[in-house]
Amino acid sequence: MGRPPCCDKSNVKRGLWTPEEDAKILAYVATHGIGNWTLVPKKAGLNRCGKSCRLRWTNYLRPDLKHDNFTPEEEELIIRLHEAIGSRWSVIARQLPGRTDNDVKNYWNTKLKKKLQKIGIDPITHKPISKILNDFGNISGINIPPSPNTTTNSATHQAGPFMRKAFKPEPPSSSTTATPTSSCSNNSTIMMANNNNNDHTPQQDNYNGFFSLTPPPSAAAETFLSWDFSASASASSSPLPSAETFLGSPRESFSSSCQQQQQQQVEAQTTQGLMWREFLVSDSTLASSSGFQHEHDEEKAIEEGPSAELVPPPSVAAADFSARSDGDDMVGALCGGGSSSFVESMLDKEREMMQSQFPQLLDRLAFDY
DNA sequence: AATATCCGCAACCGCTCCGAC
DNA sequence: CGTCGGAGCGGTTGCGGATAT
């Protein structure tokens, strides 16, 4: 049985709001405050769906909203957050005071996506398109020549999430004193594509400085990308990379953070024994098509330890990665699951991130973290 | 000047989450 | 525990203005 509609849609007005309607909402909120939006139309004398009233208020009428253009700093932040957490617009919008999720989403879809594509960056993976096509060719056996200026097409979009699943990271070094820059990116477990080819354009290499803030080291984005969810599932033992690393940092900070991160990843492996590629191997399609299984077996022989039984169950492996909630659950399972879900760990990370890296924004936010 | 096309934004839709009962 | 309903979310649509022809 389907859920009944929240209002009689045939009898409510739809479409653009008039100034008079806006005034009624504003007057109502000024008197009664917000809450129980289904009652608002009746009490405010509006022939609108309550949900529509709520949206109008949240996206347009709220007094704390900014209606001016996005600043370069905001653009930069949106891109970096999208890179890290994807299209979770409400989460991203929370880091941008005065902006709504709708604002951010629209701005992304109409401006930022195109900007990235123009410089040869895939807006889904935030990797150079040439590299994605290259890697996709390597895995599927298709020989796709590098094409740095190719705009995103459907193949690229499909390759994006696929690549997340299919790219095999290098096995972790047994020594934590390995070259931080390379080992750090190689150990990425979420964004797995390491930049081991050098056919990027100068524009792509300057991606982090794209919006002409302080040009960070080229690896900074990867540090951010390589935030290791599995390693950081236990928040107490694995702090996030520093704020400098997050937003582009002196290389010293990056290296130090990277070493710590790598150490954590090694520890996480030995204690949890569950890396992203464990999941990949459980996907029979990928394993059989990419020649991945064999290499994995070798790695597993090295890694095999007390937690070797932690291979995700087939139901987890079969989860539709593109589905948000399923993806969360799956990553949660990969994180060692147990009592803390992926969502919880994400929220923990957000809190940590805000406290350690965006304290100034946290101060300004009215939202409860 | 008229028409076609493009683009950005506001609004809607359908879904999930979550608390109350 | 299941149901209901409000709230919130991300994706999509469609209108209206801007620009190109």
Domains A14-61 and A72-118 share a fold: yes
Which residue minimizes Cα–C1' distance to C11?
A105
Confidence at residue A248, expressed as pLDDT on a 0 to 100 scale:
33
- Chain B bases closer than 7 A to any CB of the protein: 7-14, 16-18
Residue A337 has pLDDT above 70, yes or no: no
Confidence at residue A322, expressed as pLDDT on a 0 to 100 scale:
34
Please tell me the distance from the alpha carbon of residue A142 to that of residue A133, in angstroms, as a whole number: 9
Higher pLDDT, A211 or A134: A134
What DSSP state is assigned to residue A10? G
Domain boundaries, chain A: 14-61, 72-118, 129-150+169-364
pLDDT tens digits, one per residue of A302-329: 333 333 333 333 333 333 333 333 333 3
Determine the distance between A261 (CA) and B7 (C1') in angstroms. Answer: 43
Which residue minimizes Cα–C1' distance to C8?
A90
Residue A344 has pLDDT above 70, yes or no: no
- Of A9-18, A27-36, A119-128, A181-190, the poorest mean pLDDT is in A181-190
Determine the distance between A55 (CA) and B12 (C1') in angstroms. Answer: 10
Which residue minimizes Cα–C1' distance to C6?
A36
**Helix axis angle, A129-140 relative to A154-166, nearest 10°?**
70
Residue A34 has pLDDT above 50, yes or no: yes
Kindly report the average pLDDT of chain A as a whole number.
54
- Chain C bases closer than 7 A to any CB of the protein: 4-12, 15-16
- DSSP assignments along A314-363, one per residue: HHHHTS-TTSHHHHHHHHHHHTT-TTS-HHHHHHHHHHHHHHHH-HHHHH
pLDDT tens digits, one per residue of A149-204: 433 333 333 333 333 332 233 333 333 333 333 333 333 333 333 333 334 444 44
Which residue minimizes Cα–C1' distance to C9?
A90
- Report how far apart, in Å, the C-alpha atoms of A16 and of each of A54, A222, A223, A286, A296 are: 14, 43, 44, 48, 56
Do A361 and A354 contact (CB within 8 A), yes or no? yes
Tokens matching residue A160: 């994006």
Phi, psi of A351 (to 5 degrees): -60, -45
Name the helix (H) or strand (E) containing A180. Answer: helix A180-186
Residue A103 has pLDDT above 80, yes or no: yes
**Residue whose pair of structure tokens reads 């995700």 in the numeric block:** A312
Closest nucleotide to A111: CA versus each C1': B8
Confidence at residue A314, expressed as pLDDT on a 0 to 100 scale:
33
Note the CATH number of domain A14-61: 1.10.10.60
CATH class of A72-118: mainly alpha
Confidence at residue A132, expressed as pLDDT on a 0 to 100 scale:
73
Confidence at residue A53, expressed as pLDDT on a 0 to 100 scale:
87
Please tell me the distance from the alpha carbon of residue A352 to that of residue A238, in angstroms, as a whole number: 11
Phi, psi of A164 (to 5 degrees): -60, -35
pLDDT tens digits, one per residue of A267-281: 343 333 333 333 333
Do A328 and A343 contact (CB within 8 A), yes or no? yes
Tokens matching residue A98: 């005065």
Which residue minimizes Cα–C1' distance to B10?
A16
Confidence at residue A350, expressed as pLDDT on a 0 to 100 scale:
54
Determine the distance between A178 (CA) and C9 (C1') in angstroms. Answer: 42
Q: Please, which residues bridge with residue A121 across strands?
A: A128
Do A145 and A182 contact (CB within 8 A), yes or no? no
Confidence at residue A353, expressed as pLDDT on a 0 to 100 scale:
56
For the beta carbon of residue A174, count every other beta carbon within 10 angstroms.
Answer: 8
Overall average pLDDT of the A213-221 stretch: 33
Task: Give the SS3 label for residue A128.
Answer: strand
- Please indicate, yes or no, whether the overall pTM of this predicted structure exceeds 0.75: no
